[in-house]
Amino acid sequence: MSGEGNWRSVAAVAGWQTAASLCYYSVFAATGFVREAFDLSAALVGVFLTAAMVGYTVALFPSGAAVDALGEKRVMLVGLVGLAAAAVGVSFAPSYALLLLAGAALGSAYSTAMPASNRGIVASAPAGRENLAMGLKQVGVTAGSGAASLVVTGVAAVAAWQAGFWVIAAVAGGYALGFLALYDGTEGSGTVAPPDLSGLGANRAYVLLVLAGFFVGASIFTTLGYVILYVEDVVGRSAAVGGVVLALAQVTGSLGRVGAGGLADRLGGARGAATVALAQVAVAVGLFALLALEIESLPVTVALFAGVGVSVLGAMGVFYSCMSDLVDVDEVGAATAGGQTAINVGGIVAPPAFGLLADSAGYAAGWGLLAGCALLATLLLAGVRRRA
């Protein structure tokens, strides 16, 4: 396949990632409306986000095994259709218990995303441009999430908040049809088997990267879940304004992923990717510490969350590039499932803890928790860099 054809495949996978993330991150954009509709505390909002993350995490290894066995295209198509259906399910949940189940189903469908799309990028990226290609694909996460925040809050301003989920589901279903024609995919082994993690466990750099992923995931998913509530509760602005702030953080996160990928390509290899990720996460430590000051100014809040986007949200592209460089090509599905599981476990544990701290001690304590998480991730990434 020519370089041009490779970039077309990269674009198709990036588009799929955008549509998938549009569905999954809709629940983060709807936190303010869910809190009001079901009369929830900040901690119970965190439990809702955790339910989606649990569904995501439990299904990761089966999804990774399916990708390795069947190839990424079929798994991606099934996953995107499932995401569209689950998004509609969230909008129709009549009780908090059923809302949790719908969120878990949404997360389960999203488990196809990283193992499948990472394999697609590894297969499609032109030689020497792997980090940039991965960064472009990861822009789909921030672009989809940012679009979800605008769609959900924007539609809610003129209609019921649930209607935003219907719009998102329609977009995802439409892209699934286009993806069927746009992307060829690669063949799998034909045999579905549990992933072999023995070799990965002996890879010290990979293990350290997975551990760092736990704290990076705690930082990212908690930030995404509480931006809107923070803007409402501390800055005193509406959920619609909070949605714009969240979208801006995702825009700067997209810029961070592309810029980080290009820089990592210049530095080269897993060490280059680890170096860039280390610098980005280190910056996030200071930004979370500043958020802990609870400055009520909207411009300052916007600037801080924009910085969080460039830093820790923008580090995920090079994080996955580093992971792919540390393992063999035929281990990418299993390696991604392992790394994403660690990221998700951080996303499971941290949001309710942040919510409890916000309810009992204020948002300052919550942002202090995330500053500590980012600091530990920084130290672990330094270890990855030494061993890469």
Return the number of other C-beta atoms located less than 10 Å from residue 274's C-beta. 31
Lowest mean pLDDT among 138-142, 199-203, 345-349: 199-203
Q: What was the pLDDT predicted at 2?
A: 38
Number of helical H runs and strand E runs in the chain = 18, 0
Query: pLDDT confidence of 197, banded at 50, 70, 90?
Result: low
Return the number of other C-beta atoms located less than 10 Å from residue 172's C-beta. 27
Query: pLDDT confidence of 275, banded at 50, 70, 90?
Result: very high
Please write the tens of the pLDDT for every residue from 49-84.
Answer: 889 989 998 998 888 888 888 889 999 999 999 999
Choice between 352 and 294, residue whose per-residue pLDDT is larger? 294
For residue 140, which of 15, 250, 26, 53 has the smallest C-alpha distance? 15
- Determine the Cα–Cα distance for residues 371 and 365; give it in Å rounded to an integer: 10
Task: Give the domain extent around 69.
Answer: 3-387
Average pLDDT, the chain: 90
Report in angstroms the alpha-carbon separations of 192 from 72, 187, 201, 341, 347.
13, 13, 21, 19, 28
Q: What is the mean pLDDT of residues 115-119?
A: 88
Q: What is the mean pLDDT of residues 231-247?
A: 91
Choice between 341 and 19, residue whose per-residue pLDDT is larger? 19
Q: What is the mean pLDDT of residues 258-279?
A: 91
Total domain count, the chain: 1
Q: What was the pLDDT predicted at 195?
A: 64
CATH number at residue 254: 1.20.1250.20
| 93: region left, alpha or beta (phi > 0 left; psi from -120 to 50 alpha) | beta
Please write the tens of the pLDDT for every residue from 35-47.
Answer: 999 999 988 998 9
